[in-house]
Amino acid sequence: MTPERYQQIDQLTDAALELAVEERAAYLDLECAGDEELRQQVERLLSAHGYEDGFLSANALEAVAQDMAVAHARSLIGRKLGHYQILSLLGAGGMGEVYLAENTVLGRKVALKLLPAQFTRDQDRLLRFKQEARAALSLNHPNIITIYEIGETEEIHFIATEFIDGQTLRQRLAQGRLELFAALDIGAQTAAALGAAHEAGITHRDIKPENLMLRHDGRLKVLDFGSSKLTEPQTHGSSSKKSAMSGVRTAPGIVMGTINYMSPEQARGLEVDARTDIFSLGVVLYETLTGAKPFMGATTADVIVAILDKEPPPLSQSAREAPKELERIVDRALRKDREDRYQTIQGMLSDLKNLKQELEMEA
Amino acid sequence: MSTPAPQEVTQLLIAWSNGDQESLDRLVPMVYDELRRIARRYMEREPVGHMLQTTALVNEAYLRLIEQKEVKWQNRAHFFAISAQMMRRILVSMARARHASKRGGEARQVSLDEAMVVSEERAAELVALDEALNELAALDPRRSRVVELRYFGGLSVEETAEVLKISPDTVMREWKRAKAWLYAELNRK
């Protein structure tokens, strides 16, 4: 076919599409004037119209990734890994997939998280991760998920944890923002968990709604302590030359979204301490109360800029019922300079608790 | 083999656009990682493209690029165009490899990594699409580029308009026409 012919077909198709269906045959009889090949080509194209909307609707990467997701989930369900029988897929995050499994020796249900090979291939990373996970293993707090085992079988590294029957705060937020008391309760329970972790010298680094699990009885459990270590770039002494992007890489691989909870120092790729968790909890509280993330942008870069430089809209703007004191608490957690924030999570926790008590007395 | 660091994407893309074919091989694992990341989101049933159409890999590379002021790059549009070409080449290569191995042989135990491949149907579709797109390029280069940018590059209508220096309305129109043509071509065979 020549480009001229293509154009001819294109123009005839366009013109025919303008016509009512019953008028098209007569029109093409006239225009194609006995050129049967031309007519067939136009008709073929005409019949494709109407189907093209669904065609190529997801881009190539998405389409292939979708296949991968389906294939991968199918390949593991029903399999046995060591003494764990894999029952179903619970979910997935940047740190790998989480399956519901049964410990066949003890006969109990566990959540089995499998670490992606891309992370465990690097021995240094793996070692750092294990150190961190072992520290998390020692944490014993009602608001922190219990880790049962960190192990490896068939070259697959896994973590077996308590299975929590409930939903993540992310899933809960999908139904809308939470009312004041529920939000305060989530803030206080998360702060209590962080308090225990910080005391043990462990920073979470990845507090976000996806990592806060809400059990049906109202108990909140913080997930994924120490896991973010695994995705962190290697630090050889100096960290000063790490850029904003290496900070972004630290966020467990999810394509987009997780950067919204990063502290300014984290987004800049600087060393973080416990105060990064305070900032992230501030972001979570803000979102829980208003239904909107405080730092948004159309691109990763825009979000980073917002985290570093922009003040979020006042809490009271979209959460009218929020008392001034709560606005003050969230503001203080969200200070750009960590020196201006709550210096310890205990400080934030007691403010949240006091406010909750006051409100309960008033009610 | 270890995965190259994220900042390398930029360098590799530049090298590739300057004719260094080997850099494409080194980009493959990064595209693979990107695929895994998106796949994980699917497993979480999260909308994949809710914030951005352009993939994180390309975005990160682009951010690196604007950070490194010493690197001379014509413009953002050119960068996205190169990225789309790279994605097309790599995904189609993966699909061809999959397609070729169809009659590959004995059933083996599927490892984690091996399970993560392009499905057979998708592979066939991608290979056919690539060929149809080459044919379209000879007939209407602009339409073929719209498809490359939108489908392989993951660019939004607005971004595609920026790259091709045409209006978003024209992109929409060309995209619709191109898809109808490709749909007809793929279903003829």
A280-317 tens-digit pLDDT: 999 999 999 999 899 987 677 888 899 999 999 999 88
Residues 6 or more apart in contact with residue A231 via CB below 8 angstroms: A94, A95, A119, A249, A250, A251, A252, A253
- A61–B37: do the CB atoms touch at under 8 Å? no
Contacts of A233 in chain B (CB under 8 A): 5
Residues 6 or more apart in contact with residue A143 via CB below 8 angstroms: A189, A190, A192, A193, A196, A219, A220, A221, A222
B43-69 tens-digit pLDDT: 665 554 443 455 666 666 666 666 655
Residues 6 or more apart in contact with residue A321 via CB below 8 angstroms: A179, A180
* Catalytic residue status for A206: yes
- A71–B115: do the CB atoms touch at under 8 Å? yes
Q: Which class in CATH covers the domain with range A71-162?
A: alpha beta
CA dist list (Å): B89 to A178, B11, B25, B31, B35: 46, 17, 10, 11, 15
pLDDT recorded at residue B99 = 66
Report the gap between the CA of B20 and the closest CA in chain A (Å): 24
| Most trustworthy range by pLDDT among A37-51, A240-254, B22-36, B59-73 | A37-51
What is this structure's pTM?
Answer: 0.56
Residue from the list A72, A93, A243 with its beta carbon closest to the beta carbon of B115: A72
A275: tokens are 């105060």
Alpha carbon distance A295, A307 (integer Å): 6
Contacts of A67 in chain B (CB under 8 A): 117-119, 122
Report the gap between the CA of A83 and the closest CA in chain B (Å): 18
- B151–A59: do the CB atoms touch at under 8 Å? yes
Chain A residue whose CA is closest to B94: A64
Q: Are residues A340 and A270 in contact, defined by beta-carbon separation less than 8 angstroms?
A: no
Mean pLDDT of chain A: 84
Chain A residue whose CA is closest to B173: A14
B126-161 tens-digit pLDDT: 999 999 999 999 999 999 999 999 999 888 888 899
pLDDT recorded at residue A256 = 33
Chain A residue whose CA is closest to B150: A59
Residue from the list B37, B94, B180 with its beta carbon closest to the beta carbon of A254: B37
Residue A170 three-state SS: helix
- A255–B55: do the CB atoms touch at under 8 Å? yes
Mean pLDDT of chain B: 76
Q: Which of A10, A14, A122, A206 is catalytic?
A: A206
- B36–A93: do the CB atoms touch at under 8 Å? no
Is A47 within 8 Å of chain B by CB? Answer: yes
Core vs surface per residue A94-113: b (16+ CB within 10 A) or e = bbbbbbbbbbeeeeeebbbb
Alpha carbon distance A330, A346 (integer Å): 14
Domain boundaries, chain A: 3-49, 71-162, 167-362
Chain A residue whose CA is closest to B33: A118
Confidence grade of residue A208 (pLDDT, cut at 50, 70, 90): very high
The secondary structure of B115-176, three-state, reads: HCCCCHHHHHHHHHHHHHHHHHHHHCHHHHHHHHHHHHCCCCHHHHHHHHCCCHHHHHHHHH
- A6–B67: do the CB atoms touch at under 8 Å? no
Chain B residue whose CA is closest to A96: B40
- A244–B139: do the CB atoms touch at under 8 Å? no
Residues 6 or more apart in contact with residue B131 via CB below 8 angstroms: none
Across the A:B interface, residue pairs with CB atoms under 8 Å apart total 190
A211-246 tens-digit pLDDT: 999 999 999 999 887 655 544 443 333 333 333 333
Is B78 within 8 Å of chain A by CB? Answer: no
Is B87 within 8 Å of chain A by CB? Answer: yes
Alpha carbon distance A153, A116 (integer Å): 13
- B154–A60: do the CB atoms touch at under 8 Å? yes
Contacts of B44 in chain A (CB under 8 A): 91-93
Q: Are residues A98 and A91 in contact, defined by beta-carbon separation less than 8 angstroms?
A: yes
pLDDT recorded at residue A247 = 36
- A60–B91: do the CB atoms touch at under 8 Å? yes
Average pLDDT over residues A346-353: 97
Is A92 within 8 Å of chain B by CB? Answer: yes
Span of A58-62, B31-35, B181-185 with lowest mean pLDDT: B31-35
To probe the interface with B, which of A47, A68, A126, A157 has the most B CB atoms within 10 Å? A68
Q: Which class in CATH covers the domain with range A167-362?
A: mainly alpha
Is A234 within 8 Å of chain B by CB? Answer: no
Residue from the list B44, B138, B184 with its beta carbon closest to the beta carbon of A91: B44
